[in-house]
Every structure is written in C-alpha cells, then in structure tokens.
Structure 1
Amino acid sequence: MFQDDPNEAVMPDYVSDKHWEVCQQLVAEGLTDNQATRSLASLWTITNNAAKECWAAKQQRLEKIHRQNEEEEEHHLQLLHDKEEATRLEERKKEKQEQIHTHQAWKAYAIRKLKVGDFCKLHYFTNKGLKDTKTAVLVAKPEALVMLPEANRVHTWVPAAAIKDPKAAAIIKDKHLSWEEFNEAAPRMITMMRVQDWPDNHIDMHIQFWSTLQNHHWLHSPDQLKQHTLLLYWSQQHHRWYLTVRTLQGWSLKELNQDLLIEAREEIFDKHLEKQTARAIQVSCTAMSILKPL
C-alpha cells in the first residue's frame, strides 16, 4: 500500500546516469537505448496509475469512515442532549412540584396575586407570614377578603385565609418591614415567581433591584433612617412598577432613581422630625403639669 500520494509522484529521468544500469539490462535483451528508456517510463506510468486508483479508493474509504464517525458522534451528542434536556425538564418539573408542595403553607391569596402578575406584599413571604398561614383556620372561601382594623383605625382588607380570629394581626406593609424580614421574604417571592412562570426579564429585574438595595451603602450606615429609606423607596417603586407594567409607562426597577431616593429620604426624615417634635411637646407639657403649683 502506498504511503505517499501517487498523484504527487514525479517520473524518474531514465536517461540519467542513475538509471543507466537498468536501461542496459533492457538493451541486453535486444532493445535500443531509446526503447529501453521509453519502456521504463511506460512501466512507471502504468504502476503510478494503478497506485492512483488504489489511493483514490483508499481516500474514499477513509472519507466514508470519517463521515460515518462524524454522523455517529453527532447522533451520540444529540442523544446526550436529548437525554440531558429530558432530565432537565423532569428535574424542573419535580423541582416545581417540590416547590409547590414546600410552599403549600403560603397563602392562596398571595400565590394567586403572583400568578396573574398583580402586586403582592412581601409580608406573605416572611417567617411571620408563613407562620400565620400554617396556624390559620381553613375557611370555605379562602379567596374572600375580610376587613380588619389597624392600630391607626384605618381598615385593611385581608384574605380570609389569613384569619384565625377577629384579633388576627393586620398585614405588614412593605415599608414597615425590617431588613431581616425583607431578606427572608425576597428569595421566597423570587422562587414563587419562577413557579408561576414569570418572564425571566421580570425575575432578573427584581433580583437586580433587590441586590442593588442590599449593596447600597446606606444599608450599612449606622443611621437607621437611611436604612428605612431604602425600604420605603423599595415599597413605593415596587408598587408603582406593578401599576404601570402593563402600560406604555412601564419601566425597569434595575436602576435606582436618585431623585426619588432623595424624596424618600426626605419623607423619612420629616416624619422622624415630626415624631421628635411631638415627643418634645409631650415631655414639655408633662413637665409643666408637674411643676404647676396646686
């Protein structure tokens, strides 16, 4: 079998001194010098043509084997991909079912809110919110809303599924959550968003928004008012986003709006100043009543 490509072979120069001895053997058989060199050239050509045919057949076999190997490898990779995809979908299905079972305690009201893409308070996903759900008494229509009074005498509508008795605690607003409760609730809400097949861009936006707040330097400030400002900003913008997400005025929460953040800070500081002023007046009035002569 030829190791080199016979198509690249060059016919020897049989007239040269290198091939004189071979030519003389043919001359001794009765050929002339010219006939001897032509015979050697013809023999080389015949042999080279045969080698070319063998080489071409060999290349065809190799190409066929290579093509078969590629097809088999492609088929093998496709089988692996299909298997991995099927496994991923099955795991996703199991994960989704596990998440649903794991979060059975979550209020049906909150789940329905997320399912249709409506605004939902983080309270439902805090440890306290989950505990309230687990201890709640089942009612005939858990989706029904019940009016409960808050401490400030403003009535709040809450899901009946959350009610154990008439003295049940009202739902905590997002802006009144602690950062500990915020960190409890945010990942759980993200999980339920995935369970309810929210668009990936909306889920990523919430993750980015919450990450930005958690990494903001105000959160690590010793001034608790600045920490509360971030929660107020979150609650305001999160609610506004829900109100506009289905309109042409919708926007992304990824980027913090510094102007609105400053407004939230001023609101927090103003309320704090009002409380301090009211407390000072109360202390002053108490002191005056004590010092007032009988």
Structure 2
Amino acid sequence: MENLNLATRPDFLSGDFVDACLQLTNDTVNDEQVVRILGTLWDIQNAKDIQRWNACKDEEAQFTRDLADQAAEELAQQQLHLRNEEEAALAEEHKKNKVKYVPVPDMEVPMGPVDIPAPYATCKLKKGEYCELYFFTNVSLAEAESFNVSIDDEALALLKADNGQHIWVPASNTRDKSAVIKDEDLTWEQFGEASVCLLSAMREHDWQKDRIEMHVKFWTVLEVH
C-alpha cells in the first residue's frame, strides 16, 4: 500500500473532477472557489487517512517486534536448556573420569631431573620438623626413586606417638634408623649433595623465606670455612 504521508493534492481543474466542480458551481460560487472547497475537503479526508494508515503501520511494526521478541525468547530458552544438558553431561563425565579432569598446575617444566626424597623426609618437611640430611643425598634419593608407592602405601606400621599412644601409619612414613647416616658422619661430598636438595625441597614445601636464607648462610659459612 502506498504511503499516504507522501500523497499530494490532485489538480481539481483537470477532467477527472469536472462533474464535482459542476455540482458545486452556481451563481454565488465560481470555479476558483470550487477548487478551494474541494482542496479543503481533500485535506480533511487525507489527514484522517494518514492517521489510520500510521496507526495500522504502528500495529504491524509492533506485531513484528512481538514476533521477534518471542522468537528470541524461545531461542534463549532452547540454548539454556541445551547448555544445562551439556553441563549436566560434563558433570557426569567428571564423576566417571576424575583423573581425566584433574587440574594441571601452572608451573614451569623442570629443565633437569626432579629430586623427590623419601615419603618419611617429605612428611618431616611438611611439618617443619628436623630431618636427617642423609635423606637428601644422592644415595637416599636413588632409594626413594625406586620406591613402589602403589604397593608400599598399602602397608602399615605401628608407631608410638609423642603422647605415648600407639598409632598405625603408612609404612612409607617410617624409616629404619639403622640405615640412616647421622649428619656428623656424612662425607663432605654427601653434605654438599644434601644441602642443595634440601633447599629445593624447603622451597617446594613453602618454608618461610628467612628460614631458607638462614640455612643458605649456614652452609655457605661451612663451605668457605
């Protein structure tokens, strides 16, 4: 439908309006007055037509917007439903395959061999307790590397706690003291091996910086003495 806002007043002197002009023309109304009368009537009717036309277009535009909003809402609901299904499926997948989704620590890749002391020494470090330097020598680290966690972790040992009570602990947290060389009996080479590895282990187990620096100064003094 043509936009009525763009409509222009017709030429009432043309042949299309001869009959209308004859009906309005008389002794007191000439042709010029007839043209003005027809123009006024056309303007009044055109204003009404424009008002109805605009209202109709507004309704059509609103209907189009409502359809678009409804379609967008339905699409959003579908996407939400799909996302919920995917999240539920992923959660179920996490439950079934926990190892597959274990978070990967954000750390640098070691450029050299990683020295992991025996579980007994690791336990001592975590508690901040004294641990013999022997556990950080190359010999002890080699023993720890050959340690079979999957088997030995199932074994338990009975130990006497500080409060006098006996408790069962994993055998990996115990150690035959007779096989451990005392700090004062270590060779100078073993002492050097242990000092480097122990410092690394202390940092790994979040020892306070001043404690680590104290050990560094202590060993530095011994080495240059």
Normalising by structure 1, report the TM-score. Answer: 0.38
- Relative CO higher for 1 or 2, CA cutoff 8 Å, sep ≥ 6? 2
Whichever of the two has the greater Rg, that structure is 2
